[in-house]
Chains A and B, each alone.
Chain A
Amino acid sequence: MTRRGTAAGEAHRLLPRPLLVIITLFLCALVLVPVLYILLASLNTDIGVAEGQFWPSTFSGSSYTRIWTTADLAGGIGNSLVVCGLVAVASALLGTVTAYVLVRYSFLGRLTILRGLVGLQSIPGTLMLLPVFVLFASAGNYLGITVIGTRWGLFVAYLTFALPFSTWVMVTYLRGLPRELEEAARTEGASTLVILFRIIVPLSLPAIVVSGIFAFLLGWNDVLFASVLTRPETHTAAVALQVFGATQEGGALPVYSQMMAAALICAAPVVVLYLIFQRYLVGGLTAGGVK
């Protein structure tokens, strides 16, 4: 996986080193300057942030302790991690399965489904909010299945919203996978499921990681659906964060400093997860597989 310093490594180099350094530094600066502002603001006082200070006139780390009581941030992060984690896994796998059928087989309506999946991506959340709520509420009212306020309900909603995208990512990726491996497996009598889990999944791990990340983030940052589909016990991090952003009509300042601190704390788990999983974003798994 690592190709450092060897002649083969040089061959794999995509950009000359100086250019690489310049671009990397530029992009890092682009990202980090506002993030630095967020960090500094979290160490500033509310009134300092409201004044628009970049460098705090007084440093205070109290926000980092206060955020845990101002809103149920710990519970929110916990709920988010659980729900979004499951959504990521489920969406990536279900997307792979669906994509596999759509890519490898032809049947009536295949194109319609593919196009339809993209079409589903273009539906705005605000349009769906009331109808989805009504649907879930009806399940509770008429079928006796409580959906509103459970983590389950949120999981189902997020999974469904993430599915079209995950499927399409896998479709794009799977299209490029050489068939020979699968065909070899089939001649040995492997079932579809076995092929899926023993060949396809391992080979398409980069795409699975990517679609998992997106599915995770979709749930992590969603506020609209989380705010109506959850109760205080099942609040996600995004909903808890809203409390910090609250603006009262005339008078009290929003707790800017805590909002910034909470935002960083909420971003941290995702970044950590990414740090862990990004090692799967490497190639070479299909390299010369069948030559």
Chain B
Amino acid sequence: MSVRTRRAVLALAGATLLTTALAACGDDGSGGDGAKTLNVLIGANTQYPAEQQAWMTSIADTFKTQTGATVKWETFASANDELTKIQTSVVSGIGPDVYAIGTTFTPTAYSTKAFVTLSDEDWTKIGGREKFIPASLGISGPDQQNQVGIPWVGRPFVMAYNTELLKAAGIAKPATTWDELTRQAKQLTKPGQYGLAVAYKDNYDPWKFIWGMASQAGDPIVEGRTARITDPAVKKAYQTYFGWLTTDKVVDPAAIGWTNSQGIAEFAKGRTGYFALTSATAANTLEAGAIKGKWAFALLPTVPPGATSRPANGVEAASILSGDNLVVADYSKSKDLAFQFVKLITDEPAQLEMYKTFGVLPQNAVAARTLSADPKLGPILEAQSKSVATPFTGAWADIQLALTNAVVQSIPDLAKGPVPDAQIDSRLAAAQQTAQSSLDRAK
């Protein structure tokens, strides 16, 4: 027994030693007394982790040479993680100085009033609004005077198609209207082959279709402070979206269980005509699959379903305005440093570097112009130029959720057959209610 007790005491002593050692080297604090530090939070890039490390080091070195300050990088694993981080930082006033946030999240960030609304002076420090592609500023704020987001990188959405299958079916070029897409998909569907791959169970995809189709038909989902979800355009969007699976039968029945990753894996097998929603970052995956060399990107259709041309009040929305914006925290004690940093990574050299390394589109106008010469980038650049911002309201996160929820709850119905109109109506009514109450609460 004594041996055991002695061991226990020794273990305890060892533990105490370890702990004190920990306290010494683990205590990090929020940065420099003496040298200035800037804390920056960006998304972790699992596709190019080593390259991201290298890029972060090189930017940090450049910044140090320019300003003498150190950059402390932090990465988040997913949008949810970042959201949690933002919340804790806003509440406590401790956290990163610069955040890279998704564009669709910018309105929510804006509504917390925790980020710097950029004055003209601030814009000058960053390099001026003119530095950026005009369209990219669409989701920086509710209007020109109240902008918080600085465009950083673009990731517009496009669709991917199988060049071989389309050629074999005699289709000269990819569809430009949703009806044409359905028609072509039907042509491409035969035993062992499907015309369209759609990820019904993805948490982020469904609402983009609805928004796109509705906006093209003239319904921007949110008008002022009113939600327009029980609009016929939205209903038609859902019917089309569900219809691919249930009435047109151009989608693999297993798709009701697919997330975007599974959808793209399926498409990469080479037996599907179109993959409905993806972005340039899928290129690696596609090259790794059986479809290698036989695929290409195309612009998503811009004519709403049930029409042959866009109505007068319809918007040519080829993609949501998608990418990352940079925001500077209001609680930051190094705002000027932050602006200098933002200037660094939104200047042409850094932007082109990021494109070369990660495949993300620059939002710097000069850099973008340089790239427009590249033929491979055709559809992607076009999608970026035809990107339309989602409504700028703090309630957008809820509205997104409500639109997605309507799909989630319909999945069991989808498995059985066409979703009855009445069901769609009732789900849209529920979504309308949630969305409207969120909008009412918006301050």
Q: Which residues from chain A sit less than 8 Å from chain B, CB to CB?
A: 45-47, 50-52, 66, 69-71, 82, 85-86, 89-90, 93, 129-130, 133-134, 137-138, 140-141, 146, 148-152, 155, 197-198, 201-202, 205, 224, 227-228, 231-234, 239, 242-256, 258
With a cutoff of 8 Å between Cβ atoms, the chain B residues found around residue A134 in the complex are 91-92
Q: Which residue of B lies closest to A49 (CB)?
A: B265
CA distance A245 to B94 in the complex (A): 27
**CB atoms of A141 and B281 under 8 A apart:** no
With a cutoff of 8 Å between Cβ atoms, the chain A residues found around residue B322 in the complex are 249
Instruction: Tally B residues with Cβ within 8 Å of A.
Output: 66
With a cutoff of 8 Å between Cβ atoms, the chain A residues found around residue B26 in the complex are 150-152, 233-234
Question: Contact partner of A250 among B29, B84, B260, CB < 8 A?
Answer: B260
CA distance A151 to B87 in the complex (A): 21
> Given contacts A137-B93, A254-B261, are A89 and B28 in contact (CB under 8 A)?
no
Q: Which residue of A lies closest to B268 (CB)?
A: A47
Q: How far is the CB of B280 from chain A (nearest CB, A)?
A: 7
Question: Contact partner of A141 among B15, B28, B94, B284, CB < 8 A?
Answer: B94
With a cutoff of 8 Å between Cβ atoms, the chain A residues found around residue B27 in the complex are 146, 150, 152
Q: Which residue of A lies closest to B14 (CB)?
A: A89
**CB atoms of A82 and B77 under 8 A apart:** no
Q: How far is the CB of B345 from chain A (nearest CB, A)?
A: 19
CA distance A201 to B260 in the complex (A): 54
CA distance A159 to B44 in the complex (A): 30
Q: Which residue of B lies closest to A51 (CB)?
A: B265
Q: How far is the CB of A102 from chain B (nearest CB, A)?
A: 21
Q: Which residue of B lies closest to A53 (CB)?
A: B265
Q: How far is the CB of A253 from chain B (nearest CB, A)?
A: 5
CA distance A89 to B17 in the complex (A): 13
CA distance A266 to B288 in the complex (A): 28
B1 contacts partner chain A, Cβ-Cβ < 8 Å: yes
Q: Which residue of A lies closest to B53 (CB)?
A: A69
**CB atoms of A250 and B157 under 8 A apart:** yes
With a cutoff of 8 Å between Cβ atoms, the chain B residues found around residue A258 in the complex are 46
Enumerate 22 A-B pairs (CB-CB under 8 Å) in ascending A order.
Answer: A51-B266, A71-B44, A130-B87, A134-B92, A140-B30, A146-B30, A148-B94, A150-B27, A151-B22, A227-B85, A228-B85, A232-B72, A234-B26, A243-B75, A246-B77, A247-B260, A250-B157, A251-B279, A252-B281, A252-B285, A255-B46, A255-B47
**CB atoms of B260 and A202 under 8 A apart:** no
With a cutoff of 8 Å between Cβ atoms, the chain B residues found around residue A137 in the complex are 88, 91-94
> Given contacts A152-B23, A197-B9, A251-B281, are A246 and B46 in contact (CB under 8 A)?
yes
With a cutoff of 8 Å between Cβ atoms, the chain B residues found around residue A201 in the complex are 4-5, 8
> Given contacts A47-B265, A202-B1, A231-B28, are A89 and B78 in contact (CB under 8 A)?
no
**CB atoms of B279 and A242 under 8 A apart:** no
CA distance A250 to B276 in the complex (A): 10
With a cutoff of 8 Å between Cβ atoms, the chain B residues found around residue A254 in the complex are 46, 261
CA distance A113 to B28 in the complex (A): 36
Question: Number of residue pairs across A and B with beta carbons under 8 Å?
Answer: 172
CA distance A242 to B77 in the complex (A): 6
Question: Contact partner of B15 among A90, A149, A224, A245, CB < 8 A?
Answer: A90
B398 contacts partner chain A, Cβ-Cβ < 8 Å: no
**CB atoms of B261 and A247 under 8 A apart:** yes
Q: Which residue of B lies closest to A90 (CB)?
A: B15
**CB atoms of B285 and A46 under 8 A apart:** yes
Q: How far is the CB of B323 from chain A (nearest CB, A)?
A: 11
With a cutoff of 8 Å between Cβ atoms, the chain B residues found around residue A50 in the complex are 261-262, 264-265
B440 contacts partner chain A, Cβ-Cβ < 8 Å: no
Flag B293-337 by CB within 8 Å of A: 1 or 0 each.
000000000000000000000000000001000000000000000
CA distance A249 to B279 in the complex (A): 9
With a cutoff of 8 Å between Cβ atoms, the chain A residues found around residue B50 in the complex are 69
**CB atoms of A130 and B281 under 8 A apart:** no
B18 contacts partner chain A, Cβ-Cβ < 8 Å: yes
B11 contacts partner chain A, Cβ-Cβ < 8 Å: yes
With a cutoff of 8 Å between Cβ atoms, the chain A residues found around residue B260 in the complex are 247, 249-251
**CB atoms of B259 and A246 under 8 A apart:** no
Flag B82-104 by CB within 8 Å of A: 1 or 0 each.
00110110011110000000100
> Given contacts A71-B49, A198-B1, are A232 and B284 in contact (CB under 8 A)?
no
CA distance A227 to B281 in the complex (A): 26
Enumerate the 9 nearest inter-chain pairs by beta-carbon distance, A residue then B residue, closest first: A137-B92, A50-B265, A251-B281, A242-B77, A151-B26, A251-B279, A70-B49, A252-B281, A251-B282
Q: How far is the CB of A34 from chain B (nearest CB, A)?
A: 18
With a cutoff of 8 Å between Cβ atoms, the chain B residues found around residue A256 in the complex are 261
**CB atoms of B49 and A248 under 8 A apart:** no
With a cutoff of 8 Å between Cβ atoms, the chain B residues found around residue A148 in the complex are 30, 92, 94
B397 contacts partner chain A, Cβ-Cβ < 8 Å: no
Q: Which residue of A lies closest to B1 (CB)?
A: A202
With a cutoff of 8 Å between Cβ atoms, the chain B residues found around residue A198 in the complex are 1, 5
**CB atoms of B15 and A86 under 8 A apart:** yes
**CB atoms of B102 and A150 under 8 A apart:** no
**CB atoms of B265 and A69 under 8 A apart:** no
**CB atoms of B282 and A252 under 8 A apart:** yes
CA distance A250 to B79 in the complex (A): 13
With a cutoff of 8 Å between Cβ atoms, the chain A residues found around residue B208 in the complex are 250
**CB atoms of A133 and B261 under 8 A apart:** no
**CB atoms of B4 and A202 under 8 A apart:** yes
CA distance A234 to B27 in the complex (A): 9
**CB atoms of B5 and A47 under 8 A apart:** no
**CB atoms of A242 and B285 under 8 A apart:** no
**CB atoms of A149 and B28 under 8 A apart:** yes
With a cutoff of 8 Å between Cβ atoms, the chain B residues found around residue A224 in the complex are 84
Q: Which residue of A lies closest to B290 (CB)?
A: A47
Known contacts A130-B88, A141-B94; 8 additional CB pairs below 8 A are: A89-B15, A138-B92, A150-B27, A202-B4, A234-B28, A247-B260, A248-B281, A251-B260
B12 contacts partner chain A, Cβ-Cβ < 8 Å: yes
With a cutoff of 8 Å between Cβ atoms, the chain A residues found around residue B23 in the complex are 150-152
Flag B30-53 by CB within 8 Å of A: 1 or 0 each.
100000000000011011011001
**CB atoms of B91 and A133 under 8 A apart:** yes
Q: How far is the CB of B211 from chain A (nearest CB, A)?
A: 14
